[in-house]
Structure 1
Amino acid sequence: MERQEDSMKNKGIVFGIGAYVFWGFITLYWKLLTDVSPLATMCYRIIWSFIFMIAFLALSGSWSQFVKELKRLWENKNYLFLMILAALLISINWFTFIFTVSEGHVMEASLGYYINPLVNVLLATLVLKEQLSRSGKIACSLVVIGVVLLAIQTGKVPYSSLIMAFSFSIYGLIKKRIPISSMTGLTVETFVMLPFSLLYILFVSPIGFMHYSVQTNLLLMGAGVVTVIPLLLFAEAAKSTSYITLGFIQYINPTIMLLFAVFLFHETYSLAQFTAFGFIWLGIIVFTYGTTRTVMKTRKLAK
């Protein structure tokens, strides 16, 4: 029995690492779509993600579960409203990320995912009235110092990073209140935004539907696949991997992005910026240490 549990945990860790590595490398994918505007790319991502999810639900035998969860949403109008709000937030997050990467600010995009976990803690304190620990207060203060230093050094507030972090954190907060699977959630979210995406592509965009080169069209179709795969990997990881472990490996994604920004895309990375990121990394270390210590104490008390 213990061997089986260990095997499940190890499998979960592999899935988790796979998800975050995948999310890190997606940065390169959006860089390939230079012929498509960020807004059009987001619309195609929504369209093809919805198509891919419908196909996946049908082929994986999850259709009956999907229908049951849809009925649950329809019967509870509060859940339905929250799903619409979640769809709007994830679309904002996707667009901001694609726009930031396409504009050559991969480092700024990585910052959004570095500070995201601490924004989660901040929102839990403000919205859910959870008690913020001493390590949490120190960590949030360090991150604020880092962001302010970046704003002073670059002469502008890192709006993209903040929009990405807050939109995804609020999105996560909303999703926790809705008792449906991640597969159903993504399908409904993309369906909500599907009419707006189609309207833009068919009637507003200066370039017609899929009127690009064969290579670009294939990349746009693949946008649905690269959106869904890491989500499914993460969903599997979350089932058997501890909160602490996921807390550690979640920083794989922004670290990969930061390395791409510096060594592949040659974005400016001065000593001043390194100092600002140093405060943010220190905040992350304090936060991770505090979280780990709290969970360990809780486990000891439970025994």
Structure 2
Amino acid sequence: MSKLNSTQAANNNLTENNTAGVLCGLAAFVIWGLVPIFFKEISHVPPLEFLAHRMVWSFVLLIFMLFFRRSLPTLIKDVRAIMSNRRLLMMLFASATLISCNWLIYIWAVANNHVVEASLGYFINPLVNVAFGILFLGERLTKTKLMAVGLAAIGVLYMVVNSGIFPWIALVLGVLFALYGLIRKKAHVGSVIGLWIELLLLMPVVIGYMLYVNVTTGGGFMGIDKHDDYTWMMLMLSGVVTTAPLVLFASAAIRIPLSTIGLLQYIAPSMSLLLAIFLWHEPFTSTHLVAFSCIWGALIIYSVDSFILNRKRPVSPL
């Protein structure tokens, strides 16, 4: 009887854990999907300056989060371990450079009404991950997934040929984020402390840029004299907008299967795309429709194949 009760309790805990994981994942991707609205509110701030603020306020907020999650001796020990590993530091510096470039391009894209193309970048990102898995990790993929990558490539090629416009924003965002994920996969560091170290490594550059802006524009350090109170509040909140979904995502990742996260990740670019079309009235032509249809078809093939593969894997006993 006690064994039955313990099994039921374990199953209940697992169900609650999965539910919490799905809710955290949903919250993370919904926030990411709504981020363009936030960015539009301060699109008058130069992209580089906005990026600098985003990095500074995220860095500050992450300090408080790390203190909350770990004791001070443990935190100091973890930071020292990372800082003493030269190879790991180089990897984190590279990933920091990649993610900051990704953020900068996305900020610029939103401010200049390229949200449709930016959302395309995050739709193709999972398929770029597949391609990188083959190229850099020696992963062997099913014919179905290779077909999905090929179909997505056809969609991008169709857009280039039919519109004469190379979707560089989408491709650069997708590739940068895939490279970032590839490096972070090899650098075995927690998501929160990893991002904090990345920001720490770039902080001298960020502070140097802010001093340069102060000298050349006379707006005060961090633009304190040239921005109104509302802009200042939004710039400070950019730290929350950056870190909150990251923490929610990290919480989801340890509770639910990767295949579930893989399906949830399409929420963010879908929301951004709908905002671009219906709120900001960005052009969405028949060429866009065909290209996106190819990519959506590729994502359906990829997701179904991943789901079937995960279902076939044996479940480890409790």
TM-score (norm 1): 0.96
- Number of aligned residues: 303
Residue equivalent to 2:269: 254
User: Does 156-165 or 3-12 show the bigger shift?
Assistant: 156-165
Residues 63 and 227 of structure 1: CA distance in aligned 2, closer, same or farther (over 3 Å):
farther
Comparing 212-221 with 186-195, greater Cα deviation is found at 186-195
User: By how many angstroms is 1:148 displaced?
Assistant: 1.2
CA distance in 1, matches of 2:301, 2:141: 13
Amino acid at match of 1:276: A
- Displacement after TM superposition at 1:198 (Å): 1.6
2:228 corresponding residue in structure 1: 213
For 1:170 and 1:54, the matched residues in 2 are separated by 26
Deviation at 1:133, TM superposition (A): 1.3
Q: TM-score, normalised by structure 2?
A: 0.91
Residue number in structure 1 paired with 2:182:
173
- TM alignment of 1:141-156, pairs within 5 A: 141-156=150-165
CA apart distance, 1:169: 0.8
Q: Equivalents in 1 of 2:205, 2:278: separation in Å?
A: 37
Q: Which structure 2 segments of 5+ residues have no match? A: 1-9
| Contact map agreement 2:115 2:276 (CA 8 A) in 1 | yes
Q: Is the 8 A contact 2:145 2:302 kept in 1?
A: yes
Shift, 1:14, TM fit: 0.3
Contact 1:69 1:180 in 2 (8 A): no
State the shift of 1:69 in Å. Answer: 2.2
- Corresponding position of 2:3: none
Q: Give a deviation string over 1:14-47, Cα, whole Å, max 9, x none.
A: 0001000000111111101122011111111011
Structure 2 residue 260 is matched with structure 1 residue 235: no
- 1:267 matched residue in structure 2: 282
Given that 2:259 and 2:307 are in contact with CA atoms closer than 8 Å, whether structure 1 keeps it comes out as yes
Question: What amino acid maps onto 1:273 in structure 2?
Answer: H
The change in CA–CA distance for 1:57 and 1:300 in structure 2 (over 3 A counts) is closer
User: What secondary structure sits across from 1:36 in the alignment?
Assistant: coil
Q: Is the 8 A contact 1:153 1:273 kept in 2?
A: no
Q: Is 1:200 the counterpart of 2:209 in the alignment?
A: yes
Report % sequence identity. Answer: 34
Q: Report what 1:7 is aligned to.
A: 16
Instruction: Say if 1:61 and 1:298 are closer, same or farther in 2 by CA, change over 3 A.
Output: closer
> Which of residues 107, 129, 153 in structure 2 aligns to 1:98?
107
Change in 2 beyond 3 A, CA 1:62/1:180 = farther
Say whether residues 1:295 and 2:295 are aligned partners. Answer: no
Aligned partner of residue 124 in structure 1, secondary structure:
helix
Report the counterpart of residue 86 of structure 2 in structure 1: 77
Change (3 A) 1:75 1:191: closer
Question: 1:41-190 to 2 correspondence within 5 Å?
Answer: 41-190=50-199
SS at match of 2:313: helix
Which structure's CA Rg is the greater one? Answer: 2
Task: Name 2:6's counterpart in structure 1.
Answer: none
Aligned pair 1:27/2:36, yes or no?
yes
How far did 1:194 drift?
A: 1.3
Q: CA deviation at 1:74?
A: 2.4
- Where structure 1 has 5 or more consecutive residues not aligned to the other structure, the ranges are none
Per-residue CA deviation, residues 252-277 of structure 1 (Å, 9 max, x unaligned), is 00000000011001011112211110
Residue type at the aligned position of 1:73: I
Equivalent residues of 1:53, 1:228 under 8 A apart: yes
